[in-house]
Amino acid sequence: MASEPALDPVSGLPWLGAADPSLLAALPADGRMLLAEVAFDRFVGLVDGLGEAVAARALAAAADRIAAFALPRGRVWRLRGACLLVVTDAADALADPDAWAARLLAEVAAPLAVPPHALTLSASVGLAVHPDDATPLVAALAAADRALYAAQRSGVGRASRAGAPARSPAPAFTHALAQALERDELELHYQPFVDAADGRIAGVEALLRWRAPDGSLLAPPQFLPRAEQLGLMRGISAWVLDRVIADARHWRRSGFDDLRIAVNVSTVQLLEDDLIDQLETRLAAAEVAFDQFEIELSESTLLRDAARIRDTLRRLRGYGVGLTLDDFGMGGAGLVHLPRYPLSKIKIDRDFTGEIAHDQGQAAIARAIIAMGRQLHLKVMAEGVETEAQLGYLRRADCDQLQGFLFCGARPLAELEPLLRQRYLRPELFAKGAASRTLLLVDDEENVLRALQRVFRRDGYRVLAASRVAEAFELLASNEVQVILSDQRMNDLSGTEFLGRVKELYPRTVRLILSGYTDVATVTEAINRGAIYRFLTKPWDEEALRHHIREAFRTWEGLQ
């Protein structure tokens, strides 16, 4: 009897090695089996943005979901990296592999809880049926691998079968999508965005969803590309505008007449000659003002028929409509286009906020976008805010508005109204970090931290303590820290390296080293480049140490 393959400690799935006997053992008696290679799209970006630990938990949760989807006739292995192999002899999968793959993609795309995050993943799928597409089994696996490559080349969230062009929708999927409007299956959910100063709800963004016939709730990337191919976008876009205007009228009558509503408008709509006339007629009938709306544009929109688009946007701006450039930095429009359009806001894409409190590159990009927004008199909003550390850093960087699961996810209108009546989301988060004279102590020895805390609390400072560098960065992002006292020899990063990174992220802090280990060259170099203000030695003289910290706070105050 063949032994079971080793389990992957991350996903909990068995590994599938070369010529693994467990795959052959899964082959049914008649030999017909569907093989599906499932590769998560942009998984490297998830690792870079949220870290390896969160990415590993996301992979494990997604693997559990896919394993449950495959039951009772399927099995799942981890193949490599962020790629899984699903095999099944289920009758519906063999009868229509494309429809089965569409259901699998919908399952993957449903929101995934990875506390404190709520993530949305997508995947590409390569399909092969044994023996129809290839035989023996190892050849079928190679065919599925080639099909996966074809799917990935065609975009994200796609499936491709061996020997066929990449395609995401099956015929049944296409037929259902074509009838979605007629069957009233489209829905609008709304996600609030808040003022970065105090958490006040500044507006909501309308987000389209399709409640497919099988009950799954699909996001736009899962069906809009096909809708465009089928020529359905004009009808869908008109439905969205009608629904948004109706909801705006409802909110106005409910007392939310100052609520801004952001809605995505397609290039096709902006190129319609009668767009503004249509809006004027619909808004007048609903007794809703133009200035209650913000229109969100993709960067690619600005590259299409620039003169006509620019004229339409200027007319909309003249009516008081806000114009937001969505996912700034991701679409290729380039900085040169920004001054040419009457924009009122730019949104920092979530790819630039995931590790903003720890990553110098992301932080630098975000600060540059915010500074540029200031110079161009544009508001700046950050997407994907999911942690208090991100919130703290973006507030300190003077970002204007914030949106993300830390405050609220997208919700149907009825579920959102109780939150709107509160007027503020997570107000307790915005009361943090206001205390003056905050001192951060960083040392990997707990007894040293406790001793230092006793020394400084008598001086009336607000004292924060961290035994790990990662914890220190979290505290820096969430609190207004003026002075940092760090040990030099720590397990995860030296004090001079840590404070060098702090200098890039939080240049206004005053940074000191306290250490019993003296590397003159390293310390001198750090002082010369401004990473540290002063080097102090252990064991310390209590009065002298208190004096140095008082002087550090005076230095900070003198720099303001």
**34-43, 325-334, 344-353, 361-370: segment of lowest average pLDDT:** 325-334
Q: Is 43 helix (H, G, I), strand (E, B) or coil?
A: helix
CB 290 within 8 A of CB 319: yes
Q: Which DSSP state fits 3?
A: P
Rounded-to-integer distance, Cα 288 and Cα 286, Å: 5
Alpha-helical (H) ranges within 154-208 are 171-178
Q: In which band, very low, low, confident or very high, does the pLDDT at 11 lie, cut at 50, 70 and 90?
A: confident
Place of tokens 């193949």: 79
Q: In which band, very low, low, confident or very high, does the pLDDT at 3 lie, cut at 50, 70 and 90?
A: very low
Q: Identify which of 89, 151, 91, 81 has the alpha carbon closest to the alpha carbon of residue 123.
A: 151
Residue 73 has pLDDT above 60, yes or no: yes
388-433 pLDDT tens trace: 888 988 988 889 999 998 999 889 999 999 999 999 999 888 876 4
What is the predicted pLDDT for the residue at 496? 84
Q: For a pLDDT cut of 70, what percent of the chain falls above it?
A: 89
Residue 164 has pLDDT above 60, yes or no: no
Token pair for 221: 């990337």
450 phi and psi angles, rounded to 5 deg: -65, -40
Report all structural domains of the chain as residue ranges with CATH numbers, in order of start. 21-161 (3.30.70.270), 187-208+232-428 (3.20.20.450), 438-559 (3.40.50.2300)
CB 206 within 8 A of CB 186: no
Residue type at 547 in one-letter notation: H
**242-246, 259-263, 476-480: segment of lowest average pLDDT:** 476-480
98-136 pLDDT tens trace: 889 999 998 898 888 888 777 888 899 999 998 888 888
Rounded-to-integer distance, Cα 369 and Cα 315, Å: 26
Residue 295 has pLDDT above 80, yes or no: yes
Rounded-to-integer distance, Cα 559 and Cα 123, Å: 50
**147-156, 191-200, 203-212, 504-513: segment of lowest average pLDDT:** 147-156
407-417 pLDDT tens trace: 998 899 999 99
- Give 306-368 as a DSSP string: HHHHHHHHHHHHHTT-EEEEEEETSS---GGGGGGS---EEEE-GGGTTTTTT-HHHHHHHHH
Place of tokens 């997570």: 426
Most distant CA atoms of the chain, gap in Å: 84
pTM: 0.62
